[in-house]
Amino acid sequence: MAKNKNNVKYNKLNSFLNSFQENDIPGFVLIYGEPYLVQQAFKPISSFLLGKNNPQFALETLEGGSVSMGDIIDQVSTFSFLVPKKIVAVKNAPLFQTPQGSQEISFSQSDIDRLIDFIQKGIPLNHFLIFTTARIDKRKKIYKTLADKGLIIDCSVPAGARKADQDEQKTVLKNISDQILSKSKKIIDNQAFHALVELTGFNLDLFSQNLEKLIVYSGKSRTISTADVKAVIIRDKKDPIFNLTNAVMAKDVKSALFYLHSLFNEGFHPLQILKSFENQTRKLILVKCFTQKFYENNKNVSLKKINFNSFKQIVLPKITAHDELTKTAIKEQDKYLSKEKSLKKKKGKLNDLLLAPNPQNAYPVFQIFQKSENFSLTGLNQSLFFLSDLDYRLKSSSFNAKTAIENFIINTCSKGGFVYAEKNQNRRHHF
């Protein structure tokens, strides 16, 4: 089998199988990524492998966290008297991570070595072993073996906050919507679709279940409307924490308080939220320190009004030059300190001090520079004092943390700016 044919994206699977010869399919298949997409990918690949054989007798499903590697290999090596082909499917296989449950069976290194040896020697003819898992680690030997000897189906979807990631998430949801609605010969208007996404979030199982509810509720109507969505669907979306920090950066008090309430309902610890605000505030302070010097030599440029292309041409080169000076200073500092003490350099800590850790992805940098114009350096410093005190209080006493964080949001987003340190000079963390 050609090496470039051993890895296929889930949305290309059907065309891949149509152009593939049955005899070229390897005995091992790994499907990884979003559980809903993994399940959807399993159906066509298993049907393709079994052909006309009845899956009732030819397909055996095992749970990865509760079966040993020896049992898996024995099952796939045992011939059936009823059908000529056989699939052993191992769901949620802990190939790349240690299971969390204390009663689950973890694959030890010897188990993995045994599996690698089994795959390299070859699975019995017309027998197939399918593993499904949520995450992979391409650095591990088992992945490299599977990539060389088996078929890998990639069902992953980026979960980040970048525009490209969110666009891909919406594309996946739209494709799922079209597939489900086409069976009932229904459509959903754009406003209703976006309302459903806002209420559900990127939860593919929940999104598909909610669509099924809407199909039933809409009755004979061919179109699912926004009114249908509002009448049937409750908000089950799990908000990522960056929704909260983005709302604060936009000084949108109403949205920020809404997302804060949502995060507390989801069980977020106050210290998690506090840490996100600290990281955000420190980043904004770095940006404001840079922009103060930038404006001294570029008085005719407004970072709040500048467009993205102009930002890349005028501002980004100065940012990257600033970051290079920062890297040089840190290297010199590490050299000096290493004479006294052995230090391990941590990339994450370095990135925290850079304005553009990834200059190739300039749009997030552009956004934070524009939103930094909503704040003054003095107000950000005041915010950091407040967060420092709040951190100490959370770790040393009992009080209503949600109310305190609400107070932080309201003060940070206020037109007058945050005034805190002068009024609280006796606090534990006032400097």
Clarify whether residues 149 and 171 are in a common domain: no
Q: For the chain, how big is the Rg over CA atoms in Å?
A: 27
- b/e sequence 264-290, b meaning 16+ C-beta within 10 Å: eeeebebeebbebbbebbebbbbbbeb
Same domain, 151 and 13: yes
**In a shared domain, residues 94 and 219:** no
Domain endpoint, select from 100, 125, 155: 155
Q: How many CA atoms lie within 13 A of 415 on its CB side?
A: 0
Average pLDDT for residues 77-100, to the nearest whole number?
80
Max Cα–Cα distance, the chain, nearest Å = 83
Q: Are 207 and 173 in contact (CB under 8 A)?
A: yes
What the block records as the tokens of 54 is 């009845």
Give the residue from 120, 155, 190 where a domain finishes: 155
pLDDT of residue 418: 66
Q: Is residue 146 part of a domain?
A: yes
pLDDT, one tens digit per residue, over 124-158 is 888 999 999 988 888 888 888 888 888 899 999 88
For residue 391, tell me if it sits in a domain: yes
User: In this model, does residue 100 exceed pLDDT 60?
Assistant: no
Q: Which of 49-53, 62-66, 151-155, 242-246 has the lowest mean pLDDT?
A: 49-53
Segment 279-293 shows an average pLDDT of 90
Beta strands in 191-319, from DSSP E residues, in sequence order: 223-224
d(CA 94, CA 99): 6
430 lies in a domain? Answer: no
For residue 113, pLDDT beyond 70: yes
3-state secondary structure 42-89: HHHHHHHHHCCCCHHHHEEEEEHHHCCHHHHHHHHHCCCCCCCCEEEE
CA distance 185 to 260: 39
**What global pTM score does this model have?**
0.62
pLDDT over 90 percentage in the chain: 15
Mean pLDDT computed over 112-127: 88
* pLDDT higher than threshold 90 for residue 258: no
409 and 320 within one domain:
yes
Sign of the dihedral through C-alpha 199, 201, 206, 210: positive
CATH of the domain at 214: 1.10.8.60
Q: Is the per-residue pLDDT at 421 higher than 60? A: no
d(CA 159, CA 200): 15
**Res 105 pLDDT > 70:** no
Residue 176 maps to a domain: yes
The whole-number average pLDDT for the span 362-382 is: 87
- Mean confidence (pLDDT) of the chain: 82
Domain-located, residue 89: yes
Question: 286 and 225 in one domain?
Answer: no
Are 86 and 174 within one domain? no
pLDDT of residue 344: 47
Q: How confident is the model at residue 427 (pLDDT cuts 50, 70, 90)?
A: low
330, 353 contact by CB (below 8 A): yes
pLDDT at 14 exceeding the cut of 70: yes
User: How confident is residue 430, by pLDDT bands cut at 50, 70 and 90?
Assistant: very low
**In this predicted structure, which of 9-23, 211-225, 307-321 has the lowest mean pLDDT?**
9-23
Rounded to whole angstroms, how far apart are CA atoms 93 and 389?
A: 45
Task: Quote the pLDDT of residue 287.
Answer: 92
Instruction: Give backbone dihedrals phi and psi of 7, rounded to 5 degrees, phi first.
Output: -140, 125
Residue 243 lies in a domain: no
- pLDDT tens per residue, range 22-38: 666 788 999 999 999 99
The answer to whether residue 340 is domain-embedded is: no
Residue 244 maps to a domain: no
b/e burial code for range 207-230 (CB count within 10 A of at least 16 → b): bbebbeebbeebeeeeebbbebbe
d(CA 79, CA 402): 61
So what's the pLDDT on residue 431? Answer: 39
**Is the same domain home to 419 and 280?**
yes
Q: Is the pLDDT of residue 429 over 60?
A: no
Same domain, 121 and 29: yes
Is 410 found in the same domain as 285?
yes
Of the two residues 252 and 340, the one the predictor is more confident about is: 252
Residue 361: predicted pLDDT = 79
Higher pLDDT, 348 or 155: 155
Is the pLDDT confidence value at 339 over 70? Answer: no
How high is the pLDDT of residue 191? 92
Residue 284's pLDDT is what?
A: 92
Confidence of residue 2 (pLDDT cuts 50, 70, 90): very low
What domain range is 184 assigned to?
Answer: 163-232
Kindly tell me if the per-residue pLDDT of 382 is higher than 90: no
Count the domains in the chain: 3
pLDDT in tens, 311-338: 888 888 999 998 888 888 888 877 766 6
Measure Cα distances from 73 to 33, 88, 136, 178, 327 in Å: 24, 9, 21, 39, 51
Confidence of residue 419 (pLDDT cuts 50, 70, 90): low
Do 216 and 169 have their domain in common?
yes
CATH number at residue 30: 3.40.50.300
Please report the pLDDT score of residue 52 as a whole number: 72
Residue where a domain terminates, one of 155, 183, 217: 155
Task: Please report how many Cα atoms fall inside a 13 Å half-sphere around the Cα of residue 165, on the Cβ side.
Answer: 11
- Please tell me whether residues 357 and 306 are part of one structural domain: yes
- List the end-to-end C-alpha distance of the chain, in Å, as a whole number: 67
pLDDT above 70 covers a percentage of the chain that reads 86
pLDDT in tens, 173-198: 999 999 999 988 999 989 999 988 88
Look at residue 122 in the predicted model and tell me its pLDDT. 85
Q: Are residues 142 and 177 in the same domain?
A: no
Of 383 and 3, more confident: 383
CA distances to 102, 103, 115, 146, 399 from 110, in Å = 19, 19, 9, 17, 50
